[in-house]
Amino acid sequence: MISLFARLELGPIFRALMRNKIGALLIALQIALTLTIMVNAIFMMQERSQQMARPSGVDEANTFYLSNTIFAQNYNTQTSMQQDLQRIRQIPGVVAATQINAIPLSGGGWSMSLQTKAGDDVEGTGAAVYMVDEQGIAALGVELIAGDNFHNSDIGWRDVGSTKWPPKALISKALAEAMFEGNWKTALGKTVYIDNHQPVQITGIINTLQAPWNGWNGVERSMLVPQQLDGRGSRYFIRTEPGRRDELMPVIEKMLAETDRGRIIRNVTSMEQTRDKSYQEHQATNTILLTVIIVLTLITGFGIVGLAMFSINRRTRQIGTRRALGASQWQVMRYFMLENLLISTAGVVLGTAGAIALNIWLVSTFSMSPLSPVLLLIGVVALLIVGQLAVSYPALVASKISPATATRGRA
């Protein structure tokens, strides 16, 4: 053991480094900066990826929606909508269809506050509101985990200006937990209040259904109410048998357009498109962050190669002398790898402090969550490995310097 440490030369390597501080210091700072930015960037990417990975609760692969805008005068909106839905449901391959007022993750929708007690000044819990009919659950593809679905007789029409709410609702598990102290099962059958005073009975609980706003911290809180909006604009939400969505999207669009020329059908959009659009910025940001990480790491790697090449060139005769004094090729190579390890260690120590400081600032400024120590550790190890890989080529070049350089100088 003693002889191993003796041969490692850490002391002399360190002391020699201290005589050539500037280059080493610059590389250490570069490594520190890379670690600082890399770890926080990866952390931000992770947070976004986790957000994107949350299920919407909707059968996204097999659902789409379209909007129906009526322009004809003297038009019976209620009959025409009922007919549209009937026709859609009759098409082979369609599983379910419903009229809906808002689309999950689309960015636009309704929200209301629900209270466990009636009253004007009672704290409420915000929830996204989806107005659907008895096929709402099947059309969205959400899972009912307690209670019953709406019946056809529950569904009422709602005028555009109305503030009247139906007496029943299905709520998401997350909403139930938020209102009933984490115990969603107790929510079933309870009466809650919407718009301060209107009683609504919770007749069922659905597992997951996200709100239209992905950045909202209550994105998992949503409710379904048995209502259909009566107006000159409406949206149909349709679910097909697995794999038949793309084929049926144009079919249904064409069918609707042709059976009734008093309106136009627009914005035929799949749920997958909606998700992509919803997280477009997240994706773009992640791509930018990833690019920054890769570029920074490459620059650092090349910086290490450059510095090592420079210092090896400067030390050619010294390396030859070491070889003459008995250093093996491996010992020469190890010298430069250990030297890099010392520089990198200084860099990652500094970088760890930097990463934590940047994270503290991000947490306090953008209310991000604190950095995980595991990620920091991974970053440290990754940069040490990058350093060793980067220096291995120059170190190999150094190890090939002939011992005869000691007497002949540069060949």
Binding site for other proteins (CB under 8 A): 2-4, 6-7, 9, 11-12, 15-16, 19-20, 317-318, 321-331, 402-404, 406-408
Distance CA(81)–CA(68), nearest Å, equals 9
Q: Which has the closest alpha carbon to 197: 118, 250, 254, 131? A: 118
Any idea what the Cα angle at residue 181 is, between residues 177 and 186, rounded to 5°? 70
Distance CA(58)–CA(354), nearest Å, equals 42
Cβ at position 399, least distance to other proteins in Å = 10
Task: Pick between residue 19 and residue 261 the one whose CB is nearest to other proteins.
Answer: 19
Cβ at position 400, least distance to other proteins in Å = 10
Backbone angles phi, psi at 166, to 5 degrees: -70, 160
Six token digits for residue 239: 């679910």
- DSSP-derived secondary structure letter, 195: T
Cβ at position 397, least distance to other proteins in Å = 16
Phi-psi region of 312 (alpha: psi -120 to 50; beta: other; left: phi over 0): alpha
Task: Pick between residue 125 and residue 405 the one whose CB is nearest to other proteins.
Answer: 405
Task: Pick between residue 15 and residue 261 the one whose CB is nearest to other proteins.
Answer: 15
Cβ at position 28, least distance to other proteins in Å = 18
Cβ at position 379, least distance to other proteins in Å = 31
Task: Pick between residue 98 and residue 399 the one whose CB is nearest to other proteins.
Answer: 399
Distance CA(378)–CA(293), nearest Å, equals 14
Distance CA(311)–CA(315), nearest Å, equals 6
Cβ at position 344, least distance to other proteins in Å = 19
Contact 271, 60 (CB under 8 A): yes
Contact 166, 225 (CB under 8 A): yes
* Largest distance between two CA atoms of the chain: 105
Cβ at position 331, least distance to other proteins in Å = 6
Cβ at position 332, least distance to other proteins in Å = 10
Task: Pick between residue 282 and residue 317 the one whose CB is nearest to other proteins.
Answer: 317
Cβ at position 401, least distance to other proteins in Å = 12
Task: Pick between residue 158 and residue 323 the one whose CB is nearest to other proteins.
Answer: 323
Contact 205, 99 (CB under 8 A): no
Task: Pick between residue 150 and residue 336 the one whose CB is nearest to other proteins.
Answer: 336
Per DSSP, the residues of 173-194 read HHHHHHHTTT-GGGGTT-EEEE
Task: Pick between residue 54 and residue 314 the one whose CB is nearest to other proteins.
Answer: 314
Distance CA(212)–CA(179), nearest Å, equals 20
Contact 206, 172 (CB under 8 A): yes
Cα end-to-end span (Å), the chain: 38
Task: Pick between residue 198 and residue 331 the one whose CB is nearest to other proteins.
Answer: 331
Counting Cα atoms < 13 Å in the Cβ hemisphere of 207 gives: 12
Q: Residue type for 349, please?
A: V
Six token digits for residue 366: 């953008």
